[in-house]
Amino acid sequence: MKVSRLVLVVEGFLFSVSNSSFATTSITEETSFGSNPGGLRLFYYIPSFYDEGGPLVVVAHGCSQDAQNIADTSGWGELADEYGYALLLSQTGTAHSAVSHCFRTWMTDHQGRGASEPLSVKQMIDYMVSEFAVDEDQVFMTGLSAGGNLVNVMLATYPDVFAAGAPIAAYPYKCATDIDDVPYCAYGYVNYTPLVWGNLARSGYPGYSGSRPVVQIWHGSWDATINLANRYQQVKQWTNVHGIDANVDWYGSLLGYPHYLYKTWAGATRVETVTVTYMGHAIAVDPGASSWQCGATGTYAADFNICSAYWIGVFFGVVP
């Protein structure tokens, strides 16, 4: 099977749901992938029928989580076996223990291009491109909460690297620039205009005028950790970056869940949202044997009869 995509998956502030057993994805650690100024750890998984020039899924975990857990519960590991992309998982290091092993997306030192955590993630991608010949033109990123925040950081600071991103239960780039800002952002108290949000995103790579990643935003309607209000704040940020308004151009449902599209005047979708009704702070999974089912329930993964990894994979193009 020949596929040609790269995906980045990340997670963050978390909420516990029921545990269950699940198959283990056998990930491998690589310690030599650059200067690694952010002190992150790189894990990867290459499925047996992966072809050079094919896809890569990079997964970074959430607070108090690790790479193995997110690989096993999210569904990205089993989808890699089915569709043939490589999987890269970013994990926090020992320096993060004081903040529950969270990615430090609220710190200005970790919000800029060419330094700290964003550069470490970029170096991980460069390693996978060099080692496994993935397609540099098709790089994608997704994640939950603090990892979803990292998605927004990377889309802002390295828009030239990513074709698309999908933050889950996150808030906008540069909403928080200090640890004291985090509660205000998390609870949805920060409400800027699209232009202000857009300018903050553009500040991640000043002067950049190239193409921007398209974005699919996921959120649980009952999320008590990262309030649902942040879904629309992200819409305002990324629609402004794409030069379109934040008014819904099409609305429908995805397996019964509200699904909104934001389009250009020519009808091209640039931003989407999917709201998982009644779900709290978690990744939506749908364990089962059907082609659209994936994932396993566990800490930070909840069965809501929709596997977000599958549908994000469709959005990215890694899943047919």
Distance (Å, whole) CA 122 – CA 188: 29
Q: How far apart are CA 256 and CA 147, in angstroms?
A: 26
Angle at 161 between CA 159 and CA 166, to 5 degrees: 70
Other CB atoms within 10 A of residue 217 CB = 28
Location of structure tokens 């200005």: 108
| Three-state secondary structure readout of 150-167 | HHHHHHHHCCCCCCEEEE
* 42 neighbors 88 (Cβ within 8 angstroms): yes
Q: List helix spans (H) across 109-178.
A: 116-132, 146-157
CB 194 within 8 A of CB 158: no
Nearest to 301 by CA among 43, 65, 46, 47: 65
Could you give the CA distance from residue 310 to residue 45 in angstroms, rounded to a whole number?
Answer: 18
Angle, alpha carbons 27-33-39 (nearest 5°): 85
- Catalytic residues, by residue number, are 145
| Of the candidates 255, 259, 315, the residue with the CA atom closest to the CA atom of residue 285 | 255
Q: Which of 197, 187, 199 is nearest to 229 (CA)?
A: 187
Cα 162 to chain center, whole Å?
11
Label the pairing between strands 283-285 and 269-276: unpaired
If DSSP codes are grouped into helix, strand and coil, which group holds residue 251? strand
Residue for token digits 């890269």?
88
